[in-house]
């Protein structure tokens, strides 16, 4: 898996890049939560069901299908004031879905662990992308403060943080350009 801190960075970058103009202050925290929540299935290691195709780590909880359901739930819980199915409602929904989906996408780019069950609950098959440049992150917090943890973080700076910064920069430039165009 990618590290939790890099999943936070991905959720924040997607929120900044795609949230509606004058987005609510709740947008960042909710998008970050959506990007991090799929790793709740890591707790299943403690219950010895981590190898279950459906419930194990990177299983159903990492699936885009659950991401759609959770994005709707997040909208209901935190953005009830948005007009249902309005343009802004869909923009927020899209941000939360992208944040959720980014988790599985980043995990499928790692060079270790199990693949991601992208098609769950319809299939338990696990997938990695053909190209896996992201070093798999240690699961224990203590392991982050080791030479290996530092190596993983430097790798994620290149493959997650830098692209996230580029996405934010391009989206901000595009918004600035669009705002200053006379049509």
Q: For residue range 121-166, list pLDDT tens digits in order.
A: 999 899 999 999 999 998 777 888 899 999 999 999 999 999 999 9
**pLDDT level of residue 49 (50, 70, 90 thresholds):** low
Asked if residue 151 lies in contact with residue 135, where contact means CB atoms within 8 angstroms, the answer is: yes
Place of tokens 């991090």: 36
- Return left, alpha or beta for 123; rule: phi > 0 is left, psi -120 to 50 is alpha, else beta: beta
- In whole angstroms, give the CA distance from residue 114 to residue 107: 9
**pLDDT level of residue 37 (50, 70, 90 thresholds):** very high
pTM over 0.75: yes
- The more confident residue out of 65 and 53 is 65
What is the domain count for the chain? 1
- In whole angstroms, give the CA distance from residue 64 to residue 98: 9
Give which of 39, 45, 183 is closest to 107, Cα–Cα: 39
**pLDDT level of residue 53 (50, 70, 90 thresholds):** low
Give which of 11, 158, 160, 126 is closest to 58, Cα–Cα: 126
Residue 119's domain comprises 4-179
């Amino acid at each position: 898996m990618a590290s939790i801190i890099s999943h936070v960075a991905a959720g924040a970058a997607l929120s900044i890049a795609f949230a509606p103009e004058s987005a609510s202050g709740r947008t960042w925290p909710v998008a970050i939560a959506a990007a991090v929540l799929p790793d709740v299935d890591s707790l299943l290691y403690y219950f010895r069901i981590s190898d279950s195709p459906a419930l194990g780590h990177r299983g159903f909880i990492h699936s885009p299908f659950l991401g759609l359901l959770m994005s709707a739930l997040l909208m209901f819980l935190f953005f009830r004031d948005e007009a249902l199915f309005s343009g802004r409602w869909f923009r927020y929904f899209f941000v939360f879905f992208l944040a959720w989906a980014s988790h599985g996408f980043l995990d499928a780019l790692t060079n270790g662990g199990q693949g991601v069950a992208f098609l769950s609950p319809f299939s338990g098959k696990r997938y990695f992308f053909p190209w896996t440049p992201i070093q798999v992150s240690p699961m224990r917090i203590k392991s982050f403060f080791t030479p290996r943890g530092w190596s993983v973080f430097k790798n994620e700076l290149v493959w997650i943080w830098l692209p996230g910064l580029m996405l934010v920069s391009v989206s901000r430039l595009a918004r600035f350009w669009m705002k200053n165009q006379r049509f």
